[in-house]
Amino acid sequence: MSEKKQTEQDKFLAPENKKHTVIGPDGEEIQVDPLNDYFCTDLPKVEAPYKGVLEKFLNWARAESLWVLSYGTGCGSIELPPLFSPRFDAYRFGVAMRPTPRQSGVLIISGYLAVKTLKRVIRSYEQMQNPKYVIALGSCTINGGMYWDSYNTINRLDHYLPVDVYIAGCMPRPEAILAGFNKLKERIKSGNAEGANEYIEKLEWYKANQKKIIKDWNMPTYNW
């Protein structure tokens, strides 16, 4: 990274993330560069899928066991809890909520996405493991919806994350979300839902888009 770019990035870093000196227990001075010392700076690699029947079988298992990250961004998050009530019962489709991004495979962007939230969404998405899918809920994620000229929401989600399934509506009802889950299942079973690898292949483009919007980028390039 060039010197100028580095100083530009440092401008947005939180004080504890800038290079600083720490006094050790015996009085020795230790130079700390948090972004390089505390975080993994490696970039991810493309994980090629298997071929033939094996991959088809694994894709079937992935499609029948969708673990969704319990994370809501906009007004659509209120449509998610009823999915697990007796009336809609998403469990029968193999859908379950997981409270940690490490164990989940599906990220639902439920409605408008503020710039501040986009940063958290990117961190959560990058912490999920390789076969991972994004469902975009509501018209706000397609073209901005009623927030299209707002000063602090993004308009098109697929400039920032690879989206597998869009569910249109403002807001989509739980039935529409269930239909979206079934659409996602079809896509996974057909072997086309390779969003995670696509994100890694086009990482530079996605990162450029993300950094254009997020002015206070005080985190490593890729959040493992």
Partner 1 sequence: MNIFPRIVFVLLGLFIVLNWGLIMAGIIRKIIARLGMRRGIKVFQPYINLIKNYSIRSQLSHGVMFYLGPVFRLSGGVGIFLFMPLIYGSDYWSNFSFTGDLILITYFMFFGMLGMALGAGEGGHPYSAIGISRGLAQFTAIEVPMTLAILSIAIQYQTLSISEIVAAQQGGIQNWTMVTNPLATIAAMLSFLGAMGHSPFNVVMAPQENPVGPPTEYHGTFLGVLQTNRAILHVIEAVLYMNLFFGGASNWGVLIIKTFLIYFWSVFVGMVFPRFRVDQSIPWFLKIPLVIGIAAIVVFII
- Under the binding rule (CB under 8 A), the answer on residue 102 touching partner 1 is yes
Burial class (CB in 10 A: 0-12, 13-18, 19+), 191: exposed
Strands 29-32 and 20-23, bridge-based pairing: antiparallel
Count of beta carbons in the 10 Å neighbourhood of residue 4: 8
Q: Which of 25, 27, 52, 99 lies at the binding interface for partner 1 (CB under 8 A)?
A: 99
Q: Which of 18, 32, 35, 44 lies at the binding interface for partner 1 (CB under 8 A)?
A: 44
State in angstroms the smallest separation of the CB of 174 from partner 1.
Answer: 14
Q: Which of 130, 150, 155, 223 lies at the binding interface for partner 1 (CB under 8 A)?
A: 130
- CA 143 to chain centroid, in Å, comes to 18
Only segment of 10-18, 101-109, 158-166, 168-176 that touches partner 1 (CB under 8 A): 101-109
Contacts within 8 Å (CB) and 24+ apart, 51-55: 55/191
Question: For residues 52-62, b (16+ Cβ closer than 10 Å) or e, as one string?
Answer: eeeeeeebeeb
200-219: contacts with partner 1 (CB under 8 A)? none
- Which pair of tokens denotes residue 51? 């071929």
Only segment of 61-69, 117-125, 149-157, 172-180 that touches partner 1 (CB under 8 A): 61-69
Q: Which of 39, 77, 89, 222 lies at the binding interface for partner 1 (CB under 8 A)?
A: 89
- Under the binding rule (CB under 8 A), the answer on residue 27 touching partner 1 is no
Q: Which of 36, 103, 190, 192 lies at the binding interface for partner 1 (CB under 8 A)?
A: 103
State in angstroms the smallest separation of the CB of 65 from partner 1.
Answer: 4
Only segment of 11-19, 97-105, 136-144, 168-176 that touches partner 1 (CB under 8 A): 97-105
CB within 8 Å of 210: residues ≥ 6 apart: 118, 122, 160
H/E stretch holding 69 reads strand 66-69
Residue 107 · residue 113 · CB < 8 Å: no
- Under the binding rule (CB under 8 A), the answer on residue 224 touching partner 1 is yes
Only segment of 56-64, 115-123, 146-154, 201-209 that touches partner 1 (CB under 8 A): 56-64
C-alpha to C-alpha distance for 97 and 163, rounded to whole angstroms = 19
State in angstroms the smallest separation of the CB of 137 from partner 1.
Answer: 22
Judged by the rule CB under 8 A, the positions of this chain that interact with partner 1 are 44, 47, 49, 57-58, 61-62, 64-65, 70, 86, 89, 91-92, 94, 97-100, 102-103, 105, 129-131, 224
